[in-house]
Structure 1
Amino acid sequence: MTERAEFRDGERLRAGDLNRESASRRQDVEDHRGLAHPGPGLLGASIISAADDTSISQVPAGPFTTVRVDVPGAPEALRLASRGHRALGPIQGSGASLRTAAALRLVPGAATPASAPWTIRALDIRDDDNRRTGRELRVELRVPPGSSPVSSRVAVHFRPVANPAGPEHAITVDAAGTVTISGDLHVRGTLSEGLIPADRADPRFVAAILGAVAERVLGVATATENPSIKLAVTAGAASDADRTIVEISSNVDRPFPLWGVAMEIERQGRRTVRMVRVGGEPTQKVPITASPVVPWPVRLTPGTAATITVAVVAFDAPGDLFAQRASITVPPPPELDDDGDLDEGLEIPV
């Protein structure tokens, strides 16, 4: 920086000093431009227009760095990278030469398939480089003006080969995008589910909300003992290899206006959670109880045992938090005799 005159409050200023100050500021600007911006152009990781519709951004792409240009109606219209450049449309020059130190690659975008209502057809799935990555079966329908999308649908009926005289199964697709399958769906590959709309009438949305609450209850209840709850969990006497009746009880020492019970089931590396019950009693000491049933699609055996964890979270009238968890294993492990061997006369309940 250049040396400038030092002005202090109360001093009389001279015109010559002001001229020197002006020259110093101009020199500071020139020095800054030469050091921070050695070449012409803008410097930044992301540059956005004032209308917020055009942007130039620098994004990581594996071990490389890519500069991406987005314009209205054409996201990622131009991509510049050390591995090669790609443009989604024509490039027009202003008379100057277009030079590149790396490969220049111009790839046409994937064409949008023409509309073909009332057809079932297989279409290619292509990436940004117009390379085929897979195939999909598309059902395209048409909705007459003023009609409900549900009224336009296509159904595929078939009979199992092993039982030609058996009941027909059907796959129904309507114009609203709903696919209904009468029977079981066996997927050989990847099944992707779209976004679940926030609709309380949709059981998927309700299950997602309850699952999130259950995970939170299980995460909070980390203590295995709590004198204010005294949680106890056992397998009911009517449990068998096909189902386990989980008996949940407690002996609370105060009223809990709000409490919740969640359950975690782990078996052979698989884990599921569920919300069991929510309740509360603002004035009386009412025990927290529940008897959820856990079905086992594959029968329980001593070699395929499961662990069931129950978590309770409760709030008292002042708003203090109390939590506890307890776990059981079903079927229980076999007991050992005094020598550490299995008791041959012991029947292992399932």
Structure 2
Amino acid sequence: MIFVTGGAGFIGSNFVLDWLAQSGEGIVNVDKLTYAGNLDNLVSLQGDARHHFVRGDICDGDAMLALLEQYRPRALVHFAAESHVDRSIHSPSAFITTNVSGTFALLEAARAYWNTLTGREKDEFRFVHISTDEVYGSLGENDAPFTEMTAYAPNSPYSASKASSDHLVRAYFHTYGLPTITTNCSNNYGPYQFPEKLIPLVMANALAGKPLPIYGDGGQVRDWLYVSDHCAAVRRALEAGRPGEVYNVGGWNEMKNIDVVRTLCAILDELRPAPGRSYASQVRFVADRPGHDRRYAVDAGKIERELGWKPVETFDTGIRKTVQWYLDHQDWVANVQSGAYLSWVEQNYAKREAS
């Protein structure tokens, strides 16, 4: 059995679903069920005895240790995090609490549990920490992509909180010997992503006939990684990654935000055409967010060389799968667009001046 935190969120739920589709090994899935945690993501697992869901807070170290002692997992995969840069600008304290204090509490619980293990069980235990490429800061137009040796230079409260958690994970390996592995991924997209992020937000607004807000000139560059490819990389890191190592996980798909949006609009024009117009006519450029990093790009060569992982999906194949999934699951989208979500959209977008 493995122990997963944040397994009702976007990436975590995809990992849980993929894991159970490919393995007979069970999962203890711990999630606090904040706004982005959604049990509807896991509805297909109802009645599956391999899936043990526990509503819990990673900041409660005693509760985490009790769960580890109860279920005695062979590994812990840590997805739980506050992850939206815009929210971190408005409310940074929640990011420090979850991403820093929560990771610390989880490391302490894992260390206490690991110290009760003996022999092969202790040797084979792993703590896999899921992080982000944003800890490395921003790249210039012609800079080489981030590698695992790139110096940390976080520019938002979110990325600073994840950088802090990465440093804690590293310290627990070097100080205590806890067998940790860290993965730093690029921008994920795919099914079950909460519609505060670019791709699902654009999808939801386009179909509702609302403006498609694009920060600044839309020229920000990101490396896009289909979520199932990311899940496969995490499984591989758990299986064969070396304790104490960091692996960057990227899709080799650098694109400007405006080009991502234009691609989405073109696919929607094909699959769900709006009478008499293109969805691209709804694009609106709005004031940029403070400290917006201009470019992220990930060199995923190390994980390919050492662990044999590389992404299966191109952006063209992955984005088409993503659009089709959202079109086929409009009930899911409607259910997550609660009053709290609509209030957030009003707070973050409606008051921005048009560029």
Q: Same fold (TM over 0.5)?
A: no
- What TM-score does the superposition give when structure 2 sets the normalisation length? 0.20
Q: Given the two structures, how large is their TM-score scaled by the length of structure 1?
A: 0.21
| Greater fraction helix | 2
Higher relative contact order, structure no. (Cα contacts within 8 Å, ≥ 6 residues apart): 2
